[in-house]
Structure 1
Amino acid sequence: MAAITLKKDTLQTVLNGHLESVSYIAGATPSQQDTEVFAALTSAPDAAAFPHLARWYKHIAAQGDAIKSYAAPAAPTAAAEEDDDIDLFGSDDEDDDEEKLKLQAQRLAEYKARKAAKPAVIHKSMVIFDVKPWDDETDLKLMEESVRSIEMPGLLWSEKSELVPVGFGIKKLRISAVIEDDKVSTADLEEKITEFEDYVQSVDIQAFNKL
């Protein structure tokens, strides 16, 4: 990734706009680019001025040392590269004529037909959350019911969960879910879980695996 030389306010404005519709800097999962941008920011952005960037920053910060081991962004597939290399309108400098226009129309029709014939690929991931209560008096049953009440397109909670001892009689809820990467942002899901502030003190991603 090229070195970031934009002024801080400009950089944050650009990143905030980019993160409005995506969960990470590149791809559907955390990558080295998230690590590099996180390091470049040096401090948490203003949530009021840059809400999308602040959400992303909070999510990456919560991963701790795990961000050091993020892999490089996934390379585009051969099919995607093939599509990107298609020259729909030719590259010669000849004047437009009837044959050239026919060739352009044929290329465009072939390209659209090939795109339409491709089956839609649904990318899914298994995410395991550790949901921590405030203390040993927190009603963990109600906390789990609250978490499971979250419904989003592309989100499926697992039937099983477990309570894991933390210390001093406190237990945390470990619960997993299968998500469709294009529909569910783990950052948004974490934010929804922490909104149950009567029960939830914090939430961490214990594991994230592509299916």
Structure 2
Amino acid sequence: MGFGNIKTKDGQKQLNDFLADRSYIEGYVPSQADVVVFEALSGAPPADLFHALRWFKHMSSYKKPEMQSWPGVKQPLGNYGPKGGAAAAAADSDDDDDDDDIDLFGSDDEADAAAEKLKEERLAAYAAKKSKKPALIAKSMIILDVKPWDDETDMKEVEKSVRSIVTDGLVWGTSKLVPLAYGIKKLQISCVVEDDKVGTDFLEESITAFEDFVQSVDVAAFNKI
């Protein structure tokens, strides 16, 4: 339908009704549509048509060169304004079809329920996967220097005594005799321990308990593995 003769009272009332919930003729910024309608008016609308008057005063605050730079392409006045006739009917028909396709009840709840179910399934799958994954066990390799009392100490008995220490998380490794001084040799022996189960204090106390053979124990090396 579009705007008719907006120089008349009826035409200006139509413009007023059209602008009741709009700031501009088209869109959310001033455009060439506003220029066409503004230039079609012979003057300010009457005070009782306050929506149209508000818009007219707003347009009047701009200078003409500035208005010419607004976006859009000028079209005939009848192309602007309220829709009518076949075009409006078609638009209404499209709107009705869109409404038919929209589920106004329960759609959000269904989406939320589906999302929550998917979240729970993923959490359950992650928990199951994590439970099957073996926990990482922190281990260390320790090399101990076991020193005898003198050169008459039986080093085979020393090693036998050390290896007799058995506990969960302790595995003895290779060993060798290393010369100290005056014919005395020390036993250098390696082991692998689980850090949460076996510490150096336990090893030192257990080995020095063989006081007939062992004078002292030193940690020669300590490496995480």
From the two aligned structures, give the one with the greater helix fraction.
2
Larger RCO, structure (CA 8 Å, separation 6 or more): 1
